[in-house]
Amino acid sequence: MARYAHITGWGMAIPQKVLTNSELEKMVETSNEWIVSRTGISERRIASETESSASLAVQAALKALEVANVHPLDVDLIIVATSSPEHIFPATACIVQDQIGAKRAGAFDLSAACTGFIFALDLAAATIRSGALNTVLVIGAETLSRFVDWGDRNTCILFGDGAGAFVLQASDQPGGILSGVMRSDGSGAELLTLAAGGSKYPASQSTVQNGMHYIRMNGREVFRFATRVMTQATLEVVQKANLSLQDIQLIIPHQANQRIIETAAKNLNFPLEKIVSNIHRYGNTSTASIPIATCEAIQEGKLKAGDTVVFVGFGAGLTWGAVLAQWSGPLPAKKRVYPHRYRWFARLRSRILRLWRRLEGFFWGKNAA
Ligand code: ACO
């Protein structure tokens, strides 16, 4: 029997703190007028000291599970696409797995910069269609504000923090994710980087002094690349699903720059009002931008069951890609589940496991030595 991968749940989480363009005017030589006219951004959200990529991811994930009516114990795999993970390792996805109590789930991070969410969606859908897994939680989560050089006006005006999540589930009902495209071109690697902190440039006095732990970008080149690949990937994914652009009700693009979105609309000859944009509120939240824009499109009634939608993104790497889906909404469920209520149990379980590990080490560790 044919299997399909439906998007059955969605959720988003954004920090409370708003950073406006006028506040940025006091930090670097820029103006509200320049930022709005060149990027479309009016404000962005910034994580507080107590928030992190994982904490935002957990909030978004629980909301998505709630919408899908899926219990954390039924999740088979968690993929967190992120450019600002909690650590190099362990994976942010493992922290999420522990905090939501998804005891049976594998978990890993996916690094493809802003395209990460698209790659994760495409992979999750393929895994479900293959029959290997039934339920996958795909999350895009970022606290890029921690890696922004607040003295660099080329980049600090662009980025914001947030997280978004989708639940994907197997079904024999036709629909869900119908096609996907994943592409990369490492020859453009140096156009957008966060160079230090890995094995090539481990953290040192010199990496800190040279500002190598910050995002650096050749904005003009990235802009040219972005407008080209957004058009290309959209057309490719539509063709792969044996559809035409006229069959598409909505495009939800990565939110990097309003001018990139408008240029893509023009190149595709696609009505701008059918392309979702909320960049004015959040700036570029990297892997989180597409799921956040999706949640808002649903709230505003722009995306409805039965619609055919294209998600398209690009980012550092260089990477780009698109996914085409027939929007379905939650699958019919027999019993209501409450992922939020299960959280206290997940916390307790995590504490007991940690304590048990210490006791085990104390009693049996000595014998082993
Ligand atoms: N305020 C005022 N002036 C500025 C600012 C600012 N914040 N930033 C740059 N300028 C100046 C530049 O110094 C330059 O001055 P100069 O001509 O004297 O040298 C002038 O404005 C024009 O600079 P450009 O870089 O040509 O400006 P542009 O119109 O290209 O806009 C921008 C810059 C917004 C960065 C644009 O190129 C862009 O959005 N590029 C794509 C970036 C992107 O999408 N990055 C994310 C990719 S996804 C990921 O993986 C994270």
Beta bridge partners of 314: 320
- Mean pLDDT for the chain? 96
- On the question of pLDDT at 367 being above 70, the answer is no
Q: Are 322 and 118 in contact (CB under 8 A)?
A: yes
Tokens of 130: 């293959």
pLDDT at 369 over 60: no
Distance CA 360, CA 309 (A): 51
Mean pLDDT of all residues in 27-52: 97
- Nearest ligand 1 atom to alpha carbon 319: 50
Strand, helix or coil for residue 49: coil
60 lines ligand 1 (CB under 6 A): no
Three-state SS for 172? Answer: coil
Closest ligand 1 atom to Cα of 24: 7
For the stretch 82-92, pLDDT in tens is 999 999 999 99
Rounded distance between C-alpha atoms, residue 39 and residue 42, angstroms = 9
Asked whether the beta carbons of 291 and 12 are under 8 A apart, the reply is yes
Q: Residue count of the chain, please give it.
A: 369
Residue closest via CA to ligand 1's atom 37 equals 219
Distance from residue 145's CA to the centre of ligand 1 (Å): 17
Ligand 1: nearest atom to the Cα of 155: 35
The yes-or-no answer on residue 94 being catalytic is no
Q: Any catalytic annotation for residue 87?
A: no
The protein residue whose alpha carbon is closest to atom 47 in ligand 1 is 315
Task: Kindly tell me if the per-residue pLDDT of 56 is higher than 80.
Answer: yes
User: Which residues are CB-contacts of 210 (< 8 A; sequence separation ≥ 6)?
Assistant: none
Query: How far is C-alpha 149 from the geometric centre of its chain's CA atoms?
Result: 22
| Residues 6 or more apart whose Cβ sits within 8 Å of residue 239 | none
Would residue 134 show up in a list of annotated catalytic residues for this protein? no
Taking only Cα atoms into account, the Rg of the chain, rounded to an integer number of angstroms, comes to 21
Hey, whose CA ends up nearest to atom 19 of ligand 1? 154
Q: What is the arithmetic mean of pLDDT over 296-317?
A: 96
Q: Is 39 touching ligand 1 by the criterion CB < 6 Å?
A: yes
Task: Find out whether 236 and 310 touch, Cβ atoms under 8 Å.
Answer: no
State residue 368's pLDDT score.
Answer: 62
Q: How many CA atoms lie within 13 A of 214 on its CB side?
A: 16
Would you say the CB of residue 192 lies under 6 angstroms from ligand 1?
yes
Token pair for residue 265?
Answer: 């609309």
